Structure 1
């Protein structure tokens, strides 16, 4: 029997537990190997942050989210804060875009149900649009093709 599952490793820093890195996969991985691999990837390869340094280690907190029992939502109200995560997927100018919000994200923020969902969708859309606009300007200025 394979002890396999999708997982995410999250690093947070300091008393206020500020996000310092979070990367995972939806592929089924052997847990002990996946944990080792994604602990390193999330610490050093999360493009939103500089790699973790040795002097930060004593201030870090690590969490592992093991994802199980995926189910499609019936509609936008079909989820429970703190129990269900959200995966948002769509295409933009022939590019696949997605964002993942682990079950603990909404409950950690202390947000109400609709605010959480609205914020997550708007933030994801904003991030994608700003990224697309930046890439368009960069491509026009430098004559690059993205």
Structure 2
């Protein structure tokens, strides 16, 4: 199976430029109710994943920074405390499964590290649940036939 089966394309994903401000990130994350969001550079390449924790640590560790001042802080200047790796669109499905177990979503990039979308843990779990349900239904039918 190909990773593309699970992908939410970039145009349907929420991401931010690493040149966006903390204020923009806070507002976008609140609006979408996300706890993390991928960051891309001006060339469209995946750079990092910004988390709520990153924003909170920045507020805590920047003397004098208030919510009103968050419009002055660029996301490229916010330290990232987690290294959420991206997966290549051409990678094996095993690579995706290894990452999705530790990340709520996995950014997907092309051969030039251009961000093409995300795979959510929910998409993978839903697929696996449906697959298991179909297999269980087949086993139940087989059991009825053999009884």
- Fold conserved between structures, TM > 0.5: no
TM-score by length of 2: 0.26
Higher relative contact order (CA 8 A, sep 6+): 2
Kindly name which structure, 1 or 2, has the bigger radius of gyration based on alpha carbons.
2
TM-score by length of 1: 0.26
Q: Which has the higher strand share?
A: 1
